[in-house]
Each structure stands twice: as C-alpha cells, then as structure tokens.
Amino acid sequence: MKAVQLARYGRIPELVEVPEPEVTDPFDVIVRIGGAGVCRTDLHIIEGQWQEKSGVTLPYTLGHENAGWVHEVGGAVRNVAVGDKVILHPLATCGFCRACRDGDDVHCADSAFPGIDGDGGYAELLKTNARAAVRLDDSREPADVAALADAGLTAYHAVRKAARTLRPGARAVVIGAGGLGHIGVQVLRALTAAEIIVVDTSADALALSERLGADHVVRADGSQIDAVLELTDGGGAEAVIDFVGEGGAIEAGVAMLRRAGDYYVVGYGGVLQIPTIDVISTEINFIGNLVGSYNDLAELMVLAARDRVRLHTTTYPLGEFARALEDLDRGRVQGRAILVP
C-alpha cells in the first residue's frame, strides 16, 4: 500500500510502498483511511521537535487525525464491524490502567499513538484497536470529520473544562481562530452562554469566527490587549483559551485575564514566564490541555451530527502531501488540511 513516511528529520517525507498492516491481536481494528488531517504537530515532528519525546524509529508513517471505514477486525471486536464509518481516537489505549478506568484514557499508562510513536494515517490503511474506534453518524463522511480526531478533540477538551465555570454573562477570549480555534469557537457557542471574543492576526480567520458565532473579533496588531480590556469593562476575561502558545500570544493573553481567571494552554512552542507573585496575588490558574478522552470525542461527534460543529477543510490527494504541508506551514490553509488516499 502507499504511505507517506518520514525517513530523516529535517527532510520532506516520501510517498513509498509499504506492507499492509495485519491483525495480530483479537482487539485489533484495521481502517481504510478516508481522510487524514494535516496538523502543525506533523511539521514539528518533521523538524525533529518530537524526536526524543516520541522515541519512534524512523522511517515511519505520519498522521494522527484519522477517519475511514473498518477494513478488518480481530476476533474479539464487537463495537464495530467491517464497513462501518469510524473516526479514530488518537490513542490506542489499554483499558485496564487507573486512568482508563477513570475515563481519562488520554493519560493511559500503556497506550500507542499512531502517527506519533508508530505508523499513522497518511496511508491507505491504519492499524489501531477497538477502544479507539467511534462510529460515525450516517450523515458524516470520514474526510469531513477526520481532523476532529485531534484538532476538534483538543479544542473540545479545553472548552469543556472552561464551560464548567463560564456562567451566562462571563467572557471567554479565544486566541487563534485557525484549525483548532475555529472549532473552539463553535464548541463554546454550543456548550456555554458566555460572550466570545476572538483574537487573531488574520482578517479571514476573524471573519470566519464571526460567521461561527463569535460576539466580538479583535485584530492582533499590537492593540489587542487594550481592545479586549475595553470589551470586558477593564477587568479582563474569566477565561482565555490560547490556541497559539507562542509569538507573544501568551504575554498578551495573560494581560487579558481577569483576577481569579483561568488560562487554558492549548497551543505550544513558546515559554510561559510570569512572576509567581502575580499568580498568587490575582489567583489566576494555568491549565494544560492534552488531546482529550474517548468520551470527549464521542460527545464531539454528537455535536457534529447535529451540525453544531462544522470543520472547515481543504482536501488534497495523498500524493500531494508535500503541498498540503507547505500550505499549512505558510498559513495558506483556512481551517484544516485533509489528505484523502
């Protein structure tokens, strides 16, 4: 089968022929890929940022946002059948550790992460396990929802946390309205009655945010802190959800936060530096967000089936993966890029 594999860090991946995956465990599920999301993390992997953390052996197949049709299953699989449309939770988890039994399977003690520490979905077939497969509503197609497996899941996971404390009348700032942020805006609108303020450098992203339900949009042109403080009566927002995490977004975001507010770190690449006296004197909270649980993904699929969350995508044939990666790197993708074998 065809697959896009990374052979050396710092080099463009290659489209090569590799053996098809085989069922070796009773709970294995092999999926024929209908769509694989192209994520900024893939760019970081190619650059080598994940080399030590993932411990993966090169060459291997990229792609951790995947959806498609069940192609083959192990003898013990009962939750999906051959031919079912599915979206895949990024992790293939064990089901037995404390985290899994708590429903916090994103912190599974014995998980595999296709596309990060093993072969992923930039390919015709992908092997995972039954615990990762979420059946899709008949109205959804794999290529339309694939990036919800990570981008959407991560956005949902962060917003769901924020929604616990965002009462009607509260303000929430979304920094970055790109591939993750435009989903975050929709989830905020679906789960809360908060006033939504979106900050971004792109006029197109801000226009999209308005169409998706943002109450206010602010151009990140150096005056965004003052603009947000004016919109929040000088006090700042109860929650800031940062989908950028670098390039000055953190410093600006902290300045937009009210006393006792919550700062949700989603995007990464920068460094969080704040005097501890500022943390204790205002009782602000910094909250990290890593993907999301199986239940988060299942709940997100309910919103997608009800058309409460729509993924804005640009599709590319699998053979044009290099153009998709370049377009993402150069900021030419609105929403998410999807590879379709």
Q: Which domains does the chain have, with CATH numbers?
A: 2-150+291-340 (3.90.180.10), 154-288 (3.40.50.720)
CA dihedral 90, 96, 97, 100 (to 10 degrees): 50
User: In tens digits, what is the pLDDT along the chain, a chain of 341 residues?
Assistant: 999 999 999 999 999 999 999 999 999 999 999 999 999 899 999 999 888 888 899 999 999 999 999 999 999 999 999 999 999 999 999 999 999 999 999 999 999 999 999 999 999 999 999 999 999 999 899 999 999 999 999 999 999 999 999 999 999 999 999 889 999 999 999 999 999 999 999 999 999 999 999 999 999 999 999 999 999 999 999 999 999 998 899 999 999 999 999 999 999 888 888 999 999 999 999 999 989 999 999 999 999 999 999 988 899 999 999 999 999 999 888 788 999 99
Q: In whole angstroms, how far apart are CA 217 and each of 40, 174, 206, 238, 255?
A: 24, 9, 6, 17, 17
d(CA 68, CA 73): 14
DSSP conformation class of 132:
G
Question: What are the residues facing 317 on neighbouring strands?
Answer: 340
The closest alpha carbon to 131, from 304, 297, 301, belongs to: 297
pLDDT value at position 160?
Answer: 97
Question: Cα dihedral angle (42, 252, 248, 274), rounded to 10 degrees?
Answer: -100
**Rounded to whole angstroms, how far apart are CA atoms 107 and 98?**
9
Q: Quick one: pLDDT at residue 34?
A: 98
Assessment of whether the complete model's pTM goes beyond 0.85: yes
Separation of alpha carbons 339 and 333, rounded Å: 13
Q: Which bin fits 70, alpha (ψ -120 to 50), beta or left (φ > 0)?
A: beta
Side-chain-side CA neighbours of 260 within 13 Å: the count stands at 3
Amino acid at 227: A
Distance CA 292, CA 104 (A): 8
Instruction: Kindly tell me the burial class for residue 310, based on how many C-beta atoms sit within 10 Å of its own C-beta (0-12, 13-18, 19 or more).
Output: middle
Three-state secondary structure call for residue 13: coil
Task: Supply the pLDDT for residue 334.
Answer: 78
25: its two tokens: 């465990």
101 to each of 4, 74, 93, 98, how far by Cα in Å? Answer: 35, 22, 11, 5
* CA atoms of 240 and 173, how far apart (whole Å): 5
